[in-house]
Amino acid sequence: MDESKTVTPILGNRYQLIQNIGNGGMAVVYHARDLMLERPVAIKVLRQDYSRNEAFRERFRTEAKAAANLSHPNIVTVHDFGFDSERLYLVMEYVPGTDLKTILKERVRLPVEEAVNITIQAAAGIGYAHRAGLIHCDVKPHNILVTPDQRVKVTDFGIARAMASIQPDEKHDVVWGSPLYFSPEQASGAAPSPASDVYSLGVVLYELITGRLPFHSSDPAELARMHREAVPVPPRRLNPDVPLALEQIVMKVLAKEPSARYRTADQLGRVLSSFLQSMETIKATPLQDSGPIAVSRLHSAPNSNGFPLQPVSEITEVDGEEESINIDWGTTGLALATFVAVGGLIPFWLWIWFTFNPPTP
């Protein structure tokens, strides 16, 4: 039976369900209307097998309260939550647009600049949550919405937990996150950290620029092993248009050890913003028409901080002509004037000398 057809049309005597706009493993998402405030909202209604679990309901309430405290342009705002007709539900800001997974299905992969821009915006929202003490734990394209005006919104902080409640040595029987996108430490059942979200963002960026996931298997256990042990194929082997500097960033983000990655989404966003500005600067810089150009290319190497250097443009001349001699006419003129001035004083001093020291007959 389709559970989406068994939900009460009005939840909590306030939210009128209008249309089913998404189905997931845990919930059904509806476009709805808030009858009290007369505005459109999105409502995630959890499936009954989750809603009936009292321990899960309590955890859901805690996480919903934490998510409701997040207010950022790149995060879908949580307005309310409740329990009605044996169903838990979460009321969120309604965002017109398409989730990133749907976009990837249609376009396979995105141009580098578009992919990096989307990741920067997602990192801004997730970074804000990190500063508030929350970890998303389930970053994936399905949870990243792109509006018609290219604004990115991260949604589904429903499974996020407050960092303050996580002990560094905590282990979990339940593995949080989606196996295609979760971090090595999540695959091991260890407590996630902000670096775990950074890893998942790296998997998303890898998929955006290559059209493929770094690891793929139909067996969740094998996927978990690959995240823990396997080395992903460098993005440039799958898409030669990916600049070396960006490949280095992605491979750093996909490091197995959390300490080897960028520590927070904010830090990743700053590095990607610097990379994007470098690309735009090079594109905007006109080339001097001083001879035949052999090659102009982007490259990068790590600097002393471990971050990629700004891409630079190399121009090599073939059959280059001898450089023209540059004469500093100002300096030359001053030298000549000095010579004339000094030279004009010689006869004057000679006249004085012979005036006071006339030659003896």
User: Rounded CA gap, 122 and 146, in Å?
Assistant: 10
Stretch (H or E) spanning 92: strand 87-93
Q: Which residue reads 């979990």 in tokens?
A: 172
Query: Residue 150, exposed/middle/buried by CB under 10 A (0-12, 13-18, 19+)?
Result: exposed
CB neighbour list of residue 254: distance below 8 Å, 6 or more residues apart:
199, 202, 203, 206, 214, 232, 261
DSSP-derived secondary structure letter, 159: G
Closest CA to 136 of 73, 210, 76: 76
**3-class DSSP state for residue 160?**
coil
**Among 99, 138, 156, 266, the one annotated catalytic:** 138
Q: How far is CA 75 from CA 23, 71, 133, 136, 151, in A?
A: 20, 7, 15, 11, 10
The CA–CA distances, whole Å, from 325 to 258, 321, 329, 340 equal 56, 12, 12, 26
Instruction: List the beta bridge partners of residue 11.
Output: 15
- Give the sign of the dihedral formed by CA 177, CA 182, CA 183, CA 184: positive
Instruction: Please tell me the distance from the alpha carbon of residue 310 to that of residue 301, in angstroms, as a whole number.
Output: 8
138 is catalytic: yes
Measured CA distances, 174 to 10, 118, 159, 181, 293 (Å): 33, 30, 12, 16, 59
Which residues, 6 or more positions from 147, have their beta carbon under 8 angstroms from its beta carbon?
Answer: 95, 96, 97, 153
Question: Tokens at residue 328, please?
Answer: 């500093």
Residues acting as catalytic residues: 138
